[in-house]
Structure 1
Amino acid sequence: MTLERPIPPDPYELLPTVPSFTLTSDDVQNGEPMDVRHAHGSVGGENISPQLTWSDFPAETRSFTVTCYDPDAPTGSGFWHWVLVNVPAGVTQLPTGAGGGAGADLGGAFSVRNDYGEQSYGGAAPPAGDRPHRYVFAVHALDVDRLDVTPDASPAYVGFNLTFHTLARAVIRPTYQIKE
Protein backbone atom coordinates (compact mmCIF):
# COMPACT_ATOMS: atom_id res chain seq x y z
CA MET A 1 0.00 0.00 0.00
CA THR A 2 1.53 3.32 -1.05
CA LEU A 3 1.29 5.97 1.63
CA GLU A 4 -0.58 8.95 0.19
CA ARG A 5 1.39 12.11 0.95
CA PRO A 6 3.08 14.88 -1.00
CA ILE A 7 6.64 14.42 -2.23
CA PRO A 8 8.92 16.36 0.15
CA PRO A 9 11.42 18.81 -1.32
CA ASP A 10 15.06 17.93 -1.75
CA PRO A 11 16.67 19.04 1.55
CA TYR A 12 19.34 21.12 -0.16
CA GLU A 13 16.74 23.20 -2.00
CA LEU A 14 15.85 24.68 1.40
CA LEU A 15 19.39 25.77 2.33
CA PRO A 16 21.62 28.56 1.00
CA THR A 17 22.83 27.79 -2.51
CA VAL A 18 26.48 26.67 -2.78
CA PRO A 19 28.57 25.58 -5.77
CA SER A 20 28.74 21.92 -6.75
CA PHE A 21 31.61 19.57 -7.54
CA THR A 22 31.90 16.03 -8.92
CA LEU A 23 30.66 12.98 -6.97
CA THR A 24 30.67 9.50 -8.51
CA SER A 25 30.16 5.97 -7.28
CA ASP A 26 30.87 2.45 -8.48
CA ASP A 27 27.87 1.26 -6.43
CA VAL A 28 25.02 3.77 -6.77
CA GLN A 29 23.82 6.01 -9.60
CA ASN A 30 21.70 9.14 -9.67
CA GLY A 31 18.01 8.24 -9.99
CA GLU A 32 18.67 4.48 -10.16
CA PRO A 33 17.61 1.81 -7.64
CA MET A 34 20.27 0.78 -5.11
CA ASP A 35 21.32 -2.83 -4.77
CA VAL A 36 19.86 -4.67 -1.77
CA ARG A 37 23.30 -4.85 -0.14
CA HIS A 38 22.93 -1.09 0.62
CA ALA A 39 19.60 -1.73 2.39
CA HIS A 40 19.20 -2.21 6.14
CA GLY A 41 19.41 -5.69 7.65
CA SER A 42 15.81 -5.38 8.88
CA VAL A 43 14.63 -5.59 5.26
CA GLY A 44 17.08 -8.25 4.10
CA GLY A 45 19.96 -5.97 3.17
CA GLU A 46 23.60 -6.06 4.18
CA ASN A 47 23.83 -2.50 5.55
CA ILE A 48 26.89 -1.73 3.39
CA SER A 49 27.63 1.89 2.50
CA PRO A 50 28.36 2.54 -1.18
CA GLN A 51 31.72 3.48 -2.65
CA LEU A 52 32.00 7.26 -3.24
CA THR A 53 34.66 9.34 -5.05
CA TRP A 54 34.75 13.14 -5.32
CA SER A 55 36.84 15.69 -7.19
CA ASP A 56 36.89 19.29 -8.46
CA PHE A 57 36.00 20.70 -5.03
CA PRO A 58 37.20 24.21 -4.05
CA ALA A 59 40.95 24.56 -3.47
CA GLU A 60 40.33 26.11 -0.05
CA THR A 61 38.53 22.97 1.21
CA ARG A 62 39.89 21.96 4.64
CA SER A 63 37.68 18.91 5.37
CA PHE A 64 34.57 17.02 4.24
CA THR A 65 31.38 15.70 5.76
CA VAL A 66 29.50 12.84 4.07
CA THR A 67 25.77 12.39 4.67
CA CYS A 68 22.91 10.16 3.52
CA TYR A 69 19.36 11.36 4.06
CA ASP A 70 15.93 10.02 3.03
CA PRO A 71 13.57 12.99 2.59
CA ASP A 72 10.73 10.60 1.70
CA ALA A 73 10.57 8.80 5.07
CA PRO A 74 7.08 9.15 6.56
CA THR A 75 8.29 10.95 9.68
CA GLY A 76 7.74 14.65 9.08
CA SER A 77 11.51 15.13 9.39
CA GLY A 78 12.96 12.60 6.94
CA PHE A 79 15.48 10.00 8.08
CA TRP A 80 19.25 10.34 8.50
CA HIS A 81 21.05 7.15 7.42
CA TRP A 82 24.64 8.36 7.74
CA VAL A 83 26.59 11.40 8.93
CA LEU A 84 30.38 11.04 8.66
CA VAL A 85 32.20 14.15 9.92
CA ASN A 86 35.76 15.48 9.91
CA VAL A 87 36.97 13.64 6.82
CA PRO A 88 40.42 15.15 6.06
CA ALA A 89 40.76 17.23 2.90
CA GLY A 90 43.25 14.68 1.52
CA VAL A 91 40.62 11.90 1.53
CA THR A 92 38.71 11.98 -1.76
CA GLN A 93 37.05 8.58 -1.76
CA LEU A 94 35.40 6.09 0.53
CA PRO A 95 35.52 2.39 -0.29
CA THR A 96 32.41 0.23 -0.26
CA GLY A 97 31.61 -0.52 3.38
CA ALA A 98 33.49 2.47 4.86
CA GLY A 99 30.37 3.39 6.85
CA GLY A 100 30.59 0.27 9.00
CA GLY A 101 32.01 2.15 11.94
CA ALA A 102 35.31 0.24 11.86
CA GLY A 103 37.68 -0.70 9.10
CA ALA A 104 38.88 1.99 6.73
CA ASP A 105 41.34 4.52 8.15
CA LEU A 106 39.61 7.83 7.62
CA GLY A 107 42.13 10.06 9.37
CA GLY A 108 40.12 10.69 12.52
CA ALA A 109 36.73 11.00 10.84
CA PHE A 110 33.78 9.50 12.72
CA SER A 111 30.08 8.90 12.28
CA VAL A 112 27.57 10.60 14.55
CA ARG A 113 24.48 8.63 15.47
CA ASN A 114 22.03 8.14 12.64
CA ASP A 115 18.27 7.90 13.06
CA TYR A 116 18.65 4.18 13.85
CA GLY A 117 20.67 5.35 16.88
CA GLU A 118 23.91 3.85 15.51
CA GLN A 119 27.23 5.55 14.80
CA SER A 120 27.58 4.06 11.33
CA TYR A 121 25.86 3.80 7.97
CA GLY A 122 22.29 2.49 8.27
CA GLY A 123 20.88 1.15 5.03
CA ALA A 124 17.64 1.91 3.22
CA ALA A 125 14.43 0.55 4.77
CA PRO A 126 11.36 2.29 3.34
CA PRO A 127 7.92 0.94 4.22
CA ALA A 128 6.95 -2.03 2.05
CA GLY A 129 4.77 -0.96 -0.85
CA ASP A 130 5.63 2.73 -0.53
CA ARG A 131 6.82 4.69 -3.56
CA PRO A 132 10.58 4.69 -4.31
CA HIS A 133 12.46 6.70 -1.70
CA ARG A 134 15.32 9.03 -2.60
CA TYR A 135 18.59 8.52 -0.72
CA VAL A 136 20.53 11.76 -0.90
CA PHE A 137 24.24 10.99 -0.55
CA ALA A 138 26.06 14.31 -0.18
CA VAL A 139 29.70 15.26 0.24
CA HIS A 140 30.10 18.71 1.79
CA ALA A 141 33.39 20.58 1.25
CA LEU A 142 34.07 22.63 4.38
CA ASP A 143 36.09 25.73 5.27
CA VAL A 144 37.23 24.26 8.63
CA ASP A 145 39.51 21.34 9.54
CA ARG A 146 36.93 19.90 11.94
CA LEU A 147 33.35 20.51 12.92
CA ASP A 148 33.05 21.04 16.66
CA VAL A 149 30.75 18.06 17.24
CA THR A 150 31.01 14.79 19.14
CA PRO A 151 29.91 11.27 18.13
CA ASP A 152 26.69 11.68 20.14
CA ALA A 153 25.65 14.82 18.21
CA SER A 154 22.36 14.64 16.36
CA PRO A 155 22.30 14.82 12.56
CA ALA A 156 20.28 18.06 12.86
CA TYR A 157 23.02 19.65 14.96
CA VAL A 158 25.65 18.59 12.42
CA GLY A 159 23.44 19.99 9.65
CA PHE A 160 23.18 23.31 11.47
CA ASN A 161 26.98 23.50 11.64
CA LEU A 162 27.32 22.45 8.00
CA THR A 163 25.15 25.35 6.89
CA PHE A 164 27.76 27.83 8.14
CA HIS A 165 30.86 26.01 6.87
CA THR A 166 29.92 24.49 3.48
CA LEU A 167 31.92 25.86 0.55
CA ALA A 168 30.42 23.45 -1.99
CA ARG A 169 28.32 20.28 -2.08
CA ALA A 170 28.16 17.26 -4.40
CA VAL A 171 25.17 14.92 -4.44
CA ILE A 172 24.07 11.53 -5.80
CA ARG A 173 20.40 10.53 -5.34
CA PRO A 174 19.79 6.80 -5.86
CA THR A 175 16.43 5.28 -4.91
CA TYR A 176 15.19 2.24 -3.05
CA GLN A 177 11.77 0.59 -2.88
CA ILE A 178 10.41 -2.53 -1.26
CA LYS A 179 7.60 -4.02 -3.30
CA GLU A 180 4.66 -5.61 -1.49
Structure 2
Amino acid sequence: MNLDRAVPPDPYEVLPVVPAFTLTSNDVQNGEPMAAEFAHPAVGGADLSPHLAWTGFPAETRSFTVTCYDPDAPTTSGFWHWVLVNVPVDVTELPQGAGQTPSAGAPGAFSVRNDYGEQTYGGAAPPAGDRAHRYVFAVHALDVEKLDLTPEASPAYVGFNLTFHTLARAVIRPTYQVKG
Protein backbone atom coordinates (compact mmCIF):
# COMPACT_ATOMS: atom_id res chain seq x y z
CA MET A 1 0.00 0.00 0.00
CA ASN A 2 1.47 3.32 -1.02
CA LEU A 3 -0.20 6.01 1.02
CA ASP A 4 0.66 8.48 -1.77
CA ARG A 5 1.40 11.56 0.29
CA ALA A 6 4.05 14.24 0.32
CA VAL A 7 7.33 13.64 2.13
CA PRO A 8 7.25 15.74 5.33
CA PRO A 9 10.25 17.96 6.10
CA ASP A 10 12.96 16.82 8.44
CA PRO A 11 11.75 17.99 11.88
CA TYR A 12 14.93 19.94 12.59
CA GLU A 13 14.67 21.94 9.36
CA VAL A 14 11.78 23.92 10.85
CA LEU A 15 13.38 24.72 14.22
CA PRO A 16 16.00 27.34 15.05
CA VAL A 17 19.41 26.38 13.67
CA VAL A 18 21.94 25.12 16.26
CA PRO A 19 25.48 23.82 15.84
CA ALA A 20 25.99 20.14 15.13
CA PHE A 21 28.12 17.52 16.85
CA THR A 22 28.74 13.85 16.00
CA LEU A 23 26.36 10.92 16.61
CA THR A 24 27.51 7.42 15.63
CA SER A 25 26.15 3.92 16.06
CA ASN A 26 27.44 0.38 15.75
CA ASP A 27 23.90 -0.62 14.72
CA VAL A 28 22.35 1.98 12.39
CA GLN A 29 23.76 4.20 9.66
CA ASN A 30 22.54 7.48 8.23
CA GLY A 31 20.21 6.87 5.27
CA GLU A 32 20.54 3.07 5.49
CA PRO A 33 17.81 0.52 6.40
CA MET A 34 17.73 -0.61 10.03
CA ALA A 35 17.80 -4.31 10.91
CA ALA A 36 14.53 -5.88 12.04
CA GLU A 37 15.77 -6.14 15.64
CA PHE A 38 15.19 -2.35 15.93
CA ALA A 39 11.58 -2.66 14.73
CA HIS A 40 8.45 -3.17 16.80
CA PRO A 41 7.22 -6.72 17.53
CA ALA A 42 4.02 -5.92 15.58
CA VAL A 43 6.14 -6.07 12.40
CA GLY A 44 8.39 -8.93 13.53
CA GLY A 45 11.04 -6.89 15.35
CA ALA A 46 12.69 -7.24 18.74
CA ASP A 47 12.00 -3.64 19.90
CA LEU A 48 15.69 -3.03 20.72
CA SER A 49 17.05 0.50 20.73
CA PRO A 50 20.27 0.79 18.72
CA HIS A 51 23.68 1.59 20.17
CA LEU A 52 24.31 5.36 20.13
CA ALA A 53 27.51 7.30 20.94
CA TRP A 54 28.20 11.03 20.67
CA THR A 55 31.24 13.29 20.68
CA GLY A 56 32.18 16.89 19.93
CA PHE A 57 29.38 18.58 21.88
CA PRO A 58 29.95 22.08 23.32
CA ALA A 59 32.04 22.38 26.50
CA GLU A 60 29.20 24.22 28.24
CA THR A 61 26.82 21.21 27.84
CA ARG A 62 25.15 20.29 31.16
CA SER A 63 22.96 17.33 30.08
CA PHE A 64 21.48 15.54 27.06
CA THR A 65 18.11 14.47 25.77
CA VAL A 66 17.89 11.56 23.32
CA THR A 67 14.94 11.30 20.93
CA CYS A 68 13.72 9.09 18.09
CA TYR A 69 11.00 10.44 15.81
CA ASP A 70 9.35 9.23 12.59
CA PRO A 71 8.31 12.28 10.54
CA ASP A 72 6.90 9.98 7.81
CA ALA A 73 4.17 8.40 9.96
CA PRO A 74 0.72 8.82 8.38
CA THR A 75 -0.40 11.37 10.99
CA THR A 76 -0.32 15.15 11.22
CA SER A 77 2.12 14.92 14.12
CA GLY A 78 4.59 12.20 13.12
CA PHE A 79 5.32 9.46 15.65
CA TRP A 80 7.56 9.62 18.72
CA HIS A 81 9.41 6.34 19.33
CA TRP A 82 11.65 7.43 22.22
CA VAL A 83 12.27 10.48 24.39
CA LEU A 84 14.95 10.05 27.07
CA VAL A 85 15.27 13.16 29.26
CA ASN A 86 17.95 14.38 31.71
CA VAL A 87 20.83 12.19 30.57
CA PRO A 88 23.86 13.23 32.66
CA VAL A 89 26.65 15.05 30.82
CA ASP A 90 29.12 12.25 31.58
CA VAL A 91 26.97 9.69 29.70
CA THR A 92 28.02 9.82 26.05
CA GLU A 93 27.03 6.35 24.90
CA LEU A 94 24.00 4.08 25.22
CA PRO A 95 24.41 0.37 24.48
CA GLN A 96 22.05 -1.57 22.24
CA GLY A 97 18.84 -2.30 24.16
CA ALA A 98 19.29 0.55 26.67
CA GLY A 99 15.90 1.95 25.68
CA GLN A 100 14.04 -1.02 27.14
CA THR A 101 14.21 0.55 30.60
CA PRO A 102 12.72 3.95 31.44
CA SER A 103 16.13 5.32 32.54
CA ALA A 104 18.15 3.56 29.79
CA GLY A 105 20.87 2.93 32.36
CA ALA A 106 21.63 6.65 32.73
CA PRO A 107 21.34 7.67 36.42
CA GLY A 108 18.64 10.30 36.89
CA ALA A 109 17.36 10.04 33.31
CA PHE A 110 13.83 8.98 32.43
CA SER A 111 11.78 8.25 29.34
CA VAL A 112 8.47 9.98 28.76
CA ARG A 113 5.66 8.04 27.13
CA ASN A 114 6.26 7.42 23.46
CA ASP A 115 3.36 7.30 21.00
CA TYR A 116 2.87 3.61 21.82
CA GLY A 117 2.07 4.79 25.38
CA GLU A 118 5.21 3.22 26.89
CA GLN A 119 8.06 4.85 28.82
CA THR A 120 10.70 3.04 26.75
CA TYR A 121 11.99 2.84 23.19
CA GLY A 122 9.34 1.57 20.78
CA GLY A 123 10.63 0.17 17.51
CA ALA A 124 9.87 1.10 13.92
CA ALA A 125 6.50 -0.06 12.55
CA PRO A 126 5.57 1.78 9.37
CA PRO A 127 2.45 0.60 7.51
CA ALA A 128 3.12 -2.41 5.30
CA GLY A 129 3.77 -1.37 1.72
CA ASP A 130 4.42 2.28 2.56
CA ARG A 131 7.65 3.92 1.44
CA ALA A 132 10.70 3.68 3.69
CA HIS A 133 10.26 5.84 6.79
CA ARG A 134 13.04 7.95 8.31
CA TYR A 135 13.80 7.39 11.98
CA VAL A 136 15.46 10.54 13.27
CA PHE A 137 17.64 9.69 16.26
CA ALA A 138 18.85 12.93 17.86
CA VAL A 139 20.99 13.78 20.85
CA HIS A 140 20.37 17.32 22.12
CA ALA A 141 23.17 18.97 24.14
CA LEU A 142 21.48 21.17 26.75
CA ASP A 143 22.48 24.23 28.77
CA VAL A 144 20.79 22.91 31.95
CA GLU A 145 21.50 19.87 34.14
CA LYS A 146 17.84 18.91 34.11
CA LEU A 147 14.74 19.90 32.22
CA ASP A 148 11.98 20.73 34.69
CA LEU A 149 9.77 17.88 33.47
CA THR A 150 8.27 14.66 34.79
CA PRO A 151 7.81 11.27 33.11
CA GLU A 152 4.21 12.30 32.47
CA ALA A 153 5.28 15.06 30.04
CA SER A 154 4.31 14.53 26.43
CA PRO A 155 6.98 14.26 23.73
CA ALA A 156 5.68 17.52 22.23
CA TYR A 157 6.10 19.31 25.56
CA VAL A 158 9.64 17.94 25.87
CA GLY A 159 10.31 19.22 22.35
CA PHE A 160 8.99 22.64 23.27
CA ASN A 161 11.39 22.78 26.23
CA LEU A 162 14.28 21.53 24.10
CA THR A 163 13.84 24.49 21.76
CA PHE A 164 14.88 26.86 24.56
CA HIS A 165 17.76 24.81 26.00
CA THR A 166 19.49 23.13 23.04
CA LEU A 167 23.07 24.28 22.53
CA ALA A 168 23.80 21.80 19.74
CA ARG A 169 22.30 18.67 18.18
CA ALA A 170 23.65 15.43 16.70
CA VAL A 171 21.43 13.43 14.35
CA ILE A 172 21.46 10.10 12.52
CA ARG A 173 18.59 9.08 10.22
CA PRO A 174 18.30 5.37 9.39
CA THR A 175 15.23 4.09 7.55
CA TYR A 176 12.84 1.17 7.87
CA GLN A 177 10.25 -0.29 5.53
CA VAL A 178 7.78 -3.17 5.79
CA LYS A 179 7.21 -4.75 2.37
CA GLY A 180 3.56 -5.07 1.43
Query: TM-score over 0.5 for the alignment?
Result: yes
Counterpart of 2:150 in structure 1 is: 150
Aligned residue for 1:64, secondary structure, equals: strand
Counterpart of 1:85 in structure 2 is: 85
C-alpha separation in 2, matches of 1:102 and 1:164: 24
C-alpha separation in 2, matches of 1:74 and 1:33: 19
Q: Conserved in 1, the CA contact under 8 Å of 2:102 and 2:111?
A: no
C-alpha separation in 2, matches of 1:43 and 1:29: 21
Counterpart of 2:137 in structure 1 is: 137
Counterpart of 1:8 in structure 2 is: 8
- The alignment yields a C-alpha RMSD, in angstroms, of 0.9
C-alpha separation in 1, matches of 2:46 and 2:67: 19
- Residues 64-104 of structure 1 deviation map (CA, whole Å, 9 limit, x = unaligned): 00000000000111000000000000000000000001685
What's the TM-score once normalised by structure 2's chain length? 0.98
1:72-111 residue pairs with structure 2 within 5 A?
A: 72-101=72-101, 105-111=105-111
Counterpart of 1:43 in structure 2 is: 43
Q: Conserved in 1, the CA contact under 8 Å of 2:104 and 2:110?
A: no
Amino acid in the other structure paired with 2:127? P
C-alpha separation in 2, matches of 1:94 and 1:11: 23
Aligned residue for 2:129, secondary structure, equals: coil
What's the TM-score once normalised by structure 1's chain length? 0.98
Counterpart of 1:164 in structure 2 is: 164
Tell me how far 1:105 sits from its aligned partner.
2.7
Amino acid in the other structure paired with 1:116? Y
Q: After the TM superposition, list the runs of 4 or more consecutive aligned residues in structure 1 that deviate by more than 4 angstroms.
A: none
In structure 1, stretches of 5+ residues that fail to align are: none
Identity %: 77
Amino acid in the other structure paired with 1:156? A
C-alpha separation in 2, matches of 1:31 and 1:104: 25
Amino acid in the other structure paired with 1:150? T
Aligned residue for 2:158, secondary structure, equals: helix
Counterpart of 1:22 in structure 2 is: 22
Amino acid in the other structure paired with 1:177? Q
Amino acid in the other structure paired with 1:114? N
C-alpha separation in 1, matches of 2:21 and 2:88: 17
- Residues 47-75 of structure 1 deviation map (CA, whole Å, 9 limit, x = unaligned): 00000000000000000000000000001
Amino acid in the other structure paired with 1:132? A
Aligned residue for 1:37, secondary structure, equals: helix
